[in-house]
Amino acid sequence: MVAAGLAPSRGRARDLVRQGGVRVNGELVRDELHRLTPLDLREGAVALQVGKKGHHRVRVEA
């Protein structure tokens, strides 16, 4: 989330997860230690949402 500009720091990113404000591909992330895996990819990208307005689609290229 920090690299995508959705959180200013890793600590703030963890706080956002604890508060229930983070979704990956539309599914709520409840574990602050969650790491993205190849199973999270949808058509070569991952949709990240922080709050109501923070949306990013992260494309992964090999």
pLDDT digits (tens), the chain, 62 positions:
898 888 999 999 999 999 999 999 999 999 999 998 999 999 999 999 999 998 999 998 86
Q: What is the DSSP string of the chain?
A: -TTTTS-SSHHHHHHHHHTT-EEETTEE---TT----GGG-BTTEEEEEETTTEEEEEE---
pLDDT at residue 5 in the model: 87
pTM of the model: 0.85
Identify the pLDDT of residue 49.
94
Q: What is the CATH number of the domain that holds 46?
A: 3.10.290.10
Range of the domain at 43: 10-59
Residue 25 lies in a domain: yes
Structural domain contains residue 2: no
- The pLDDT value recorded for residue 62 is 67
Q: How many domains does the chain have?
A: 1
